[in-house]
Structure 1
Amino acid sequence: MLEVRGLVAGYGATEVLRGIDLDVAPGEIVAVLGANGVGKTTLNRALSGLIPSRAGSIRFLGEAIAGRKPAEIVSAGLIHVPEGRRIFPNMSVRDNLVLGSYRRGKADRETNLERIFALFPRLRERMAQSAGTLSGGEQQMLAIGRGLMGNPRLIILDEPSLGLSPLLVEEMFGLIARIAAEGLAVMLVEQNVVQSLELAGRAYVMENGRIVVAGSAAEIAANPALKHAYLGL
């Protein structure tokens, strides 16, 4: 579904990604792990077309997408839920969700709204409420729900547990498992290593803009030397 080969990207004179190879197959959860500052968010931005790639290739559903505009990538079904939620605080919960179907999913808007409200019942209760007045956990639910409104084929979740209490983190990972159980491919980009490895089928570990470890999540979780060397555990 997603094939990345030799991806190089950065900002100005700074090269952040230094030859990334990565794959996501249909229906699987793939975790991309690493400490803060190793290039995970830059990877997400390059895949989403928010920054240009300098070398390498990105193919989604067999089509080259490097160099395409973000709107075109969304239209293809690759949807990125960014770190920090990025909701529209002065708009209602419902209007935030509806905006998720602006580029893709308009025909299924009402059906998808009901699906989101079934997945996140608290959003139904707060449908008319300004999004900026939601709790941090509810805002994260809204951000993911907005992404799902676009009928993604692959959804990239960038640090969905960031800033949440331990109880809400547990709930958030449970909700991601439910989303994936419906057959949606998920690329989970996280610093929360333990729970990400419990949820994912495969994992990549990043360090200094490179993939340093790749394999099954179970193998990585069972290797204390890898976790200590690259993840600080």
Structure 2
Amino acid sequence: MPETLLSVQGLHSGYGEVQVLHGVSVEVNRGEIVALLGANGAGKSTLINTACRLVSGTSGTVRFDGRDVSRARPQDIVGAGLIQVPEGRRIFPNLTVLENLELGACRRATRQLKANLEWVLDTFPRLRERLGQRAGTMSGGEQQMLAIGRGLMGDPRLLILDEPSLGLSPLMVEEMFGLVRRLHKEGLSILLVEQNVALSLEIASRAYVLENGEVRFSGTPGTLLAAPELRAAYLGV
């Protein structure tokens, strides 16, 4: 029986009077890569930001590792090991690479900071070469590596990646998905929020498709790709 790590049930959320999510239910089991797919405006970022308490839901529940975190503080959710790498990287451009990485461990994993730093630098050798460089002077691909590395510094139990391939060259996109695959093989559970459907479905255990704030499909990539009407309606493939 799979062990549920993140359970979102009946979630309603939005911004002021604008309702974005309408009763969304999503689960991520331990050891999975789950792809969360959908067009711009479908509600993907609202879903993960509500799960991480960066946006307040109006109803529904969010449970992480069996604990109800629907009203928890964002910093406590990070402390529990639910860590998001946000869309657009959101690094601190005037801080060095090392300073950005160290900030990733400020709420969790401070005792193993040195060990985690070595792990991250082994995973991203280019970051090791640029530890003293200001983050804002790096290329887009290197900044994405830094954003993911900063997330890994917090020793996540579930890592949420929000559009990690956004704005990257085709070569860097392939490299980024290879990295996600490698992190999963090392035992990390991942919720992957992406618009690159083909590559996401290649590596995902299961997938959800959001449309207009509702789940229109959930199941295995094989099931999704085997249904022409689903491919055409929701994935454009």
Q: TM-score range by the shorter chain?
A: over 0.9
TM-score by length of 2: 0.97
Counterpart among 112, 117, 126 of residue 116 in structure 2: 112
Does the CA-based 8 Å contact 1:158-1:190 persist in structure 2?
Answer: yes
Does the CA-based 8 Å contact 1:198-1:218 persist in structure 2?
Answer: no
Alignment of 1:46-195 (within 5 A): 46-195=50-199
1:232 is displaced (CA, Å) by 1.9
- Please tell me the root mean square deviation across aligned C-alpha atoms, in Å: 0.7
Does the CA-based 8 Å contact 1:201-1:218 persist in structure 2?
Answer: no
1:221 is displaced (CA, Å) by 2.5
1:218 is displaced (CA, Å) by 2.0
Counterpart among 28, 46, 67 of residue 24 in structure 1: 28
> Which contiguous aligned blocks of 4+ residues in structure 1 show a shift greater than 4 angstroms?
none
Does the CA-based 8 Å contact 1:92-1:129 persist in structure 2?
Answer: yes
| Larger displacement relative to structure 2 (182-191 or 215-224) | 215-224
Alignment of 1:211-222 (within 5 A): 211-222=215-226
1:225 is displaced (CA, Å) by 1.9
Q: Which runs of 5+ in 1 are unaligned?
A: none
Secondary structure class of the residue paired with 1:106: coil
Secondary structure class of the residue paired with 2:171: helix
| Counterpart code for 1:111 | A
**Residues of 2 paired with 1:23 and 1:37: CA distance?**
21
1:224 is displaced (CA, Å) by 2.7
| Counterpart code for 2:148 | I
**Residues of 1 paired with 2:7 and 2:70: CA distance?**
11
Does the CA-based 8 Å contact 1:157-1:188 persist in structure 2?
Answer: yes
Q: What residue is the counterpart of 1:225 in the other structure?
A: 229
TM-score by length of 1: 0.99
Q: What residue is the counterpart of 1:2 in the other structure?
A: 6
Deviations 1:52-93 (A, max 9, x none): 111111000000001111101001110011000000000000
Q: What residue is the counterpart of 1:197 in the other structure?
A: 201
Q: Percent identity?
A: 58
1:6 is displaced (CA, Å) by 0.3
| Counterpart code for 2:233 | A
